[in-house]
Amino acid sequence: MGISRMLLMFTITIAMAIFVVSERNKIIETGYSVAKLQKNCDELSEKNRKLNYYVDRLKSPEVIVYKVQSLKLPLVPQEDEAGMIAWHIKLKKDVMKAMKTVVHKDVFTQKISRVDCCSLHN
């Protein structure tokens, strides 16, 4: 009986050791996966920051004017200077009407409703 008990205890100890080692390996693999995903996230964040910079650059008026001139797009000029100023003032008033300012603590945001925004183009 002594040998069978010792054999049983030895088997249980070996099984527990194998379980502990396998769990430790899973934890290490999970750590590597997390590190790889974090690196991927950092790379994508950097790429997103660069793309946002290029988008902002492309939206700048200087780049738009350059593109219009380089592509030789036909632009329709306004009738006269007074008409252009009146149109600009009307547009500014319409935009101000369409904007709703919401105050939430220290944050000021502006929202344009879809219906009002569409009426600006007409």
CA distance 24 to 10: 21
Does the pLDDT of residue 77 top 80, yes or no?
Answer: no
Tell me the CA distances in angstroms from 90 to 26, 28, 87, 96, 114, one per residue in order.
67, 65, 5, 10, 19
pLDDT score of 111: 46
pLDDT score of 58: 86
Does the pLDDT of residue 122 top 50, yes or no?
Answer: no
What band does 41 get if pLDDT is binned at 50, 70 and 90?
Answer: very high
Instruction: Look up the pTM and report it.
Output: 0.44
CA distance 72 to 68: 6
Q: Please give the mean pLDDT across all residues of the chain.
A: 75
Query: Residue 78 is inside which H or E element, if any?
Result: none
Does the pLDDT of residue 14 top 80, yes or no?
Answer: yes
